[in-house]
Amino acid sequence: MTFRALRVLKDGVNQSQLVSMELDQLAPGNVLIEAAWSSINYKDALAITGRGKILKTYPANPGIDVAGVVKESDDPRYPAGMPVLVTGCGLGENQDGGLAQYVRVPAEWVIPLPGDLSPRDAMIFGTAGFTVGICLHRLLLNDQTPDKGPMVVTGASGGVGSLAVAMLSKLGFEVVAVSGKVEQKKALLELGAAKVLRPEELELGTRPLETVRFGGAIDNVGGSMLEGILRHVNLWGNVASVGLASGHEFSATVMPFILRGVSILGISSANCPRPLREEIWKKLSGAWRPRSLDVFVNREIGLDEVRETAEQMLSRQTTGRTLVRLR
């Protein structure tokens, strides 16, 4: 059977192409998924453009997210016709990924769609929403409560950021959304932010400890922003470190940790253990589900528009979630 896929032909910049493939060209696995929707995450943008070393072999299909129905399976837990999703686990990194009409994966990666989530809903969350779910799980486990003070969300207009604003606000946290895009202020307030600031308006100071202003944070950008926020976090507050949009390095003193009991929580969605993965997807489809999912969709595109959108994402021109319609 012939199908369409975005394929990165070899290592290097701009090596992705829309191709026709045969099923037997896909990497092996126990479950074949007829894919309906995928999405574009920051990591996908790096893989598609070749600006980050995400794919481990070539040629390969990028795409760390996919949702659709099982087409063929040798595992009775995932029979043909079952609606399923896969995020992370190596999809679009060391296994042909979700930006294709068919996707073959090991059974252990497959999550039956929880609750009444449709494949499209599942991709509105995608890795971005699942990552926010891990943040909430770890923050709550480590006693983050609204009375510790507002939660800062950096890179707030992006996929992870916009979902984080809405979901933290739904759980009763006051949210300070930090975005470099002034035009996104109204949208972020509508998602539940109490305040929207530009990065330079945060005035993070330079002393090892500054006045307490925040209960904690979900940080998508890393670098000096992460360093600065840590100086302002309240006693026993937590900062979930998610991303590196502005840089992967940061420097810090131990003062917030040893004098205020502040914690940095590492968030790694790709290799999240299976039992926690299932628990988080249940919560995303239930208690943590934002009122509307459609408000997070910036664009719905076809496979032929993915390359251009990936470039836009890396130059900070996208907002929210970009869905890829595969049929």
Ligand X SMILES: NC(=O)c1ccc[n+]([C@@H]2O[C@H](COP(=O)([O-])OP(=O)(O)OC[C@H]3O[C@@H](n4cnc5c(N)ncnc54)[C@H](OP(=O)(O)O)[C@@H]3O)[C@@H](O)[C@H]2O)c1
Residues forming the site for ligand X (CB under 6 A): 41-43, 127-128, 131, 155-161, 179-181, 220-221, 242-246, 267-269, 313, 316, 318
The CB-of-182 to ligand X minimum distance in angstroms stands at 10
- How far apart are CB 269 and ligand X at their closest, in Å? 3
16 with 302: CB under 8 angstroms?
no
Residue 36 CB contacts under 8 Å (≥ 6 apart), including other chains = 67, 68, 69, 119, 120, 325, 326, 327
At closest approach, how far in Å is the CB of 114 from ligand X? 19
Q: Measured from the CB atom, is 13 or 182 closer to ligand X?
A: 182
Dist CA 33 CA 97 (whole Å) = 11
Output the CA–CA distances (angstroms, integers) from residue 169 to 41, 179, 252, in the order listed: 23, 17, 28
Q: What is d(CA 100, CA 138) in angstroms, rounded to the nearest whole number?
A: 33
Q: Which C-beta is closer to ligand X: that of 155 or that of 237?
A: 155
Instruction: With H, G, I as helix, E, B as strand and everything else as coil, classify residue 195.
Output: strand
Complex with ligand X: residue 14 or 268, whichever CB lies closer: 268
The residue (of 100 and 267) whose beta carbon lies closer to ligand X is 267
Task: Quote the least distance from Cβ 276 to ligand X, whole Å.
Answer: 13
Of the pair 21, 45, the CB lying nearest ligand X is at 45
Decide if 87 contacts 2 (C-beta within 8 A). no
Min. distance of Cβ 248 from ligand X in angstroms? 9
Q: In angstroms, rounded to a whole number, what is the distance separating the alpha carbons of residues 257 and 235? A: 9
